[in-house]
Amino acid sequence: MGATRVSVIVRHPGDRSRSWSGRFLADTGATDSVVPESALRGIGIEPRTERRYALADGALRDFRIATAELDVLGEIAGATVVFCADDAEPLLGGAALESAGFEVDPVSQSLRKLPAGPLKPVGLAPGG
Segment 66-76, tens digit of pLDDT: 999 999 999 99
Q: Would the pLDDT of 123 be above 70?
A: no
User: Domain extents for the chain?
Assistant: 5-112
Of 113, 46, 125, 126, which Cα lies nearest the Cα of 81? 46
Alpha helices in 23-125 (DSSP H): 37-42, 94-100
CATH code at 5-112: 2.40.70.10
Least confident of 46-50, 58-62, 115-119: 115-119
- Residue 103, Cβ density class (10 Å: 0-12 exposed, 13-18 middle, ≥19 buried): middle
Cα–Cα nearest to 37, from 78, 88, 72: 88
User: What is the per-residue pLDDT across 49-92, written as a single tens digit (0 to 9) for each?
Assistant: 999 999 889 999 999 999 999 999 999 999 999 999 999 999 99
Give residue 32's pLDDT: 97
* pTM listed for this prediction: 0.86
- Once rounded to an integer, what is the mean pLDDT over residues 22-30? 94
